[in-house]
């Protein structure tokens, strides 16, 4: 076993230079020359060569290798978390917890891979009829900056344990974290089995255009997902798209407004609002709107930059200055269109791309803050007259990732999980759920299982085998 990073094979003009600037203080911390066309092609070719051998390794042995990868990630947890903190601004303890979760995911796939089995069918008495899973081949994994280690470990773990090879392109905004993770993992894998390419969308486009890829797994923005799906349509690669969300939160009459505000704040402000399932739109019943909004403003004021007091919650910066500018533009556009600012919404002085927890009310359906993912700490509120209006408006959206409903009414709970065309519906809790849950996003949020045991099905092709005894001469 040896390191699997593909070294530069040639220099050409199609390389991107990725400037890594820390959002904590704006300092330039690195300048990375991205992978060129030849390196991308070399990584894919090396992956194909390594995959043929890896597919023959017994599933139990592949599982054992995955368990070693989990240990390697735990051993490197401090370095990974520190790198992610510096590069994306995510608070170090949160980055560290996400690395632990990533190792846990590798352990899960280490256990699930060997028991991911086919079926025997009931055919003719003399026949053997089977359904078996086979690795698909080479998987291109394109991963985002907002969960760079845990998302990558999920995709890579499921692909590798089922006998595939992977070429991983981490986000340019978490390139140092992604390349470090690839190096940590590749040290325990056969040469070439995990290729690592680095760069921006141009490098990604080069990778997904490779006509020899079998699967493209993209976890990232809806716009990039659409472009990748178009590239895959031209080559025939299977796509798995886990893309952006515009998650609704419905706050029904009869719910405790303080508790609802706590839930809304966790959903909208955790990781500075940069979670795919962040709460993006809040529909609150008129009966409790005033109390809910007052409590939500208080929740926003408790989110602080720097050292928090006892009753405060620390919040990191947004990932990049351009990203902050985009979040702020969406907030300003909403205010220009008639929304009311109750908290935040003002660019703070000083270094770093910090943005305050922001509460907007009087939002209307046509505003971008309700129609599109904002990916910042912005709670956009719309006061509604009744539950029917809340459900109708929450459901009228092109995204389909997740939604939450806070309601004391079981009939409303039942109606809402049926009506919301999303992958995950949460009743009376914004985050949480049993281990192993795997949902399919819909619409603009993508397609295919991106997590859980079902991701093993996505990473394999099912083959039916019908086997009968040969007919020999003279019988
Ligand atoms: P992104 O799509 O810009 O980048 C993700 C990866 O795709 C990067 O490696 C990037 O370089 C590459 N890429 C971008 N454009 C490309 C193109 N045209 N062709 C090929 N590759 C391309 O996403 P991001 O900004 O890094 O991540 C944030 C987004 O990811 C948000 O929308 C968030 O909701 C979403 N996300 C979704 C999930 C989920 O499970 N649904 C999880 C995490 C993040």
Token readout for 269 is 């402000």
Token readout for 132 is 């078996």
Return the residue matching tokens 């086979």: 134
Q: Quote the CA–CA distance of 73 and 474 in Å, as a whole number.
A: 62
Query: Is the separation of the CB atoms in 51 and 164 below 8 Å?
Result: yes
**What is the 432 CA–ligand 1 centroid distance (Å)?**
23
Q: Which three-class secondary structure string do you get for 333-349?
A: HHHHCCCEEEECCCCCC
Is the CB of 147 inside a 6 Å radius of any atom of ligand 1?
A: yes
Cα 424 to the center of its chain, rounded Å: 14
Largest CA distance in the chain: 92
* pLDDT tens over the chain, length 475 residues: 333 444 444 445 668 888 999 999 999 999 989 999 999 999 999 999 999 999 999 999 999 999 999 999 999 999 999 999 999 999 999 999 999 999 999 999 999 999 999 999 999 999 999 999 999 999 999 999 999 999 999 999 999 999 999 999 999 999 999 999 999 999 999 999 999 999 999 999 999 999 999 999 999 999 999 999 999 999 999 999 999 999 999 999 999 999 999 999 999 999 999 999 999 999 999 999 999 999 999 999 999 998 889 899 999 999 999 999 999 999 999 999 999 999 999 999 999 999 999 999 999 999 999 999 999 999 999 999 999 999 999 999 999 999 999 999 999 999 999 999 999 999 999 999 998 889 999 999 999 999 999 999 999 999 999 999 999 999 8
Q: Quote the CA–CA distance of 58 and 17 in Å, as a whole number.
A: 41
Query: Is the separation of the CB atoms in 261 and 299 below 8 Å?
Result: yes
Kindly report the protein residue whose alpha carbon is nearest to atom 16 of ligand 1. Answer: 201
Which of 34, 89, 144 has the most ligand 1 atoms within 8 A of CB, as the residue to mutate? Answer: 144
Is the CB of 442 inside a 6 Å radius of any atom of ligand 1?
A: no
Separation in Å, CA 79 to CA 82, 198, 292: 5, 19, 41
Instruction: Give CATH for domain 247-427.
Output: 3.40.309.10
Which of 217, 220, 397 has the most ligand 1 atoms within 8 A of CB, as the residue to mutate? Answer: 220
Q: Quote the CA–CA distance of 437 and 431 in Å, as a whole number.
A: 13
**What does the pLDDT read at residue 13?**
62
Contacts of 260 (CB under 8 A, 6+ apart): 251, 284, 288, 292, 295, 406
**What is the 171 CA–ligand 1 centroid distance (Å)?**
7
Closest CA to 95 of 106, 107, 85: 85
**What is the 260 CA–ligand 1 centroid distance (Å)?**
30
Domain range list for the chain: 6-243+441-465, 247-427
The C-alpha R_g of the chain, in whole angstroms, comes to: 24
pTM above the 0.75 mark?
A: yes
Which of 224, 235, 458 has the most ligand 1 atoms within 8 A of CB, as the residue to mutate? Answer: 224
Q: How many helices (H) and strands (E) does the chain have?
A: 15, 20
Ligand 1 atom showing the smallest separation from residue 228 Cα:
19
**What is the 174 CA–ligand 1 centroid distance (Å)?**
11
Task: Please give the positions annotated as active site.
Answer: 242, 276
Is the CB of 144 inside a 6 Å radius of any atom of ligand 1?
A: yes
Instruction: Give CATH for domain 6-243+441-465.
Output: 3.40.605.10
Token readout for 318 is 């947004």
Contacts of 238 (CB under 8 A, 6+ apart): 136, 214, 215, 216, 232, 458
Closest CA to 204 of 322, 40, 44: 40
Is the CB of 154 inside a 6 Å radius of any atom of ligand 1?
A: no
Is the CB of 172 inside a 6 Å radius of any atom of ligand 1?
A: yes
Token readout for 51 is 């995959």
Is the CB of 276 inside a 6 Å radius of any atom of ligand 1?
A: yes
Token readout for 4 is 């699997």
Closest CA to 456 of 136, 44, 54: 136
Query: Is the separation of the CB atoms in 177 and 104 below 8 Å?
Result: no
Helix (H), strand (E) at residue 248: strand 247-251
Query: Is the separation of the CB atoms in 159 and 139 below 8 Å?
Result: yes
Separation in Å, CA 37 to CA 175, 310, 444: 18, 52, 29
Using CA atoms in the order 333, 338, 340, 344, what is the torsion angle rounded to 10 degrees?
A: 10
**What does the pLDDT read at residue 7?**
41
């Amino acid at each position: 076993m040896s390191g699997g990073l593909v070294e530069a094979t040639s220099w050409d003009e199609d390389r991107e230079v990725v400037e890594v600037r820390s959002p904590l203080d704006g300092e330039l911390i690195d300048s990375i020359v991205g992978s060129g066309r030849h390196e991308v092609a070399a990584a894919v070719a090396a992956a194909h060569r390594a995959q043929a051998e890896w597919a023959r390794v017994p599933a139990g042995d592949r599982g054992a290798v995955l368990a070693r990868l989990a240990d390697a990630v735990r051993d490197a947890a401090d370095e990974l978390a520190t790198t992610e903190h510096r590069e994306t601004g995510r608070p170090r303890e949160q980055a560290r917890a996400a690395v632990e979760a990533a190792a846990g995911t590798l352990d899960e796939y280490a256990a699930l891979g060997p028991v991911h089995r086919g079926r025997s069918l009931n055919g003719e008495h003399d026949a053997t009829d089977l359904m078996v899973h086979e690795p698909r081949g080479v998987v291109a994994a394109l991963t985002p900056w907002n969960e760079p280690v845990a998302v990558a470990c999920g995709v890579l773990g499921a692909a590798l344990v089922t006998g595939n090879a992977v070429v991983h392109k981490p986000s340019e905004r978490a390139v140092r974290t992604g390349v470090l993770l690839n190096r940590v993992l590749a040290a325990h894998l056969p040469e070439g089995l995990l290729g690592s390419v680095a760069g921006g969308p141009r490098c990604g486009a080069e990778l997904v255009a490779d006509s020899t890829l079998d699967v493209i797994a993209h976890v990232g923005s809806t716009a990039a997902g659409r472009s990748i799906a178009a590239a895959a349509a031209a080559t025939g690669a299977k796509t798995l798209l886990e893309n952006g969300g515009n998650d609704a939160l419905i706050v029904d009459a009869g719910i405790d407004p303080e508790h609802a505000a706590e839930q809304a704040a966790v959903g909208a402000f955790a990781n500075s609002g940069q979670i795919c399932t962040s709460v993006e739109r809040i529909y609150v019943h008129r009966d409790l709107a005033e109390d809910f909004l007052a409590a939500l403003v208080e929740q926003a004021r408790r989110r602080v930059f720097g050292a928090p007091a006892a009753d405060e919650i620390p919040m990191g910066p947004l990932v990049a200055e351009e990203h902050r500018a985009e979040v702020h533009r969406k907030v300003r556009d909403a205010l220009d269109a008639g929304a009311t600012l109750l908290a935040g919404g003002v660019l703070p002085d000083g270094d770093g791309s910090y943005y305050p927890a922001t509460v907007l009310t009087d939002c209307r359906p046509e505003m971008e803050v309700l129609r599109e993912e904002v990916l910042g700490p912005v709670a956009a509120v719309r006061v509604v007259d009744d539950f029917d209006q809340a459900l109708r408006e929450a459901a009228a959206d092109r995204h389909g990732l997740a939604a939450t409903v806070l309601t004391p009414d079981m009939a409303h709970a039942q109606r809402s999980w049926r009506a919301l065309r999303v992958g995950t519906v949460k009743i009376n809790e914004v985050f949480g759920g049993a281990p192993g849950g795997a949902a399919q996003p819909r619409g603009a949020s993508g397609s295919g299982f991106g997590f859980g045991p079902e991701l093993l099905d996505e990473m394999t092709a099912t083959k039916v085998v019908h086997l009968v005894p040969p007919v020999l001469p003279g019988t």
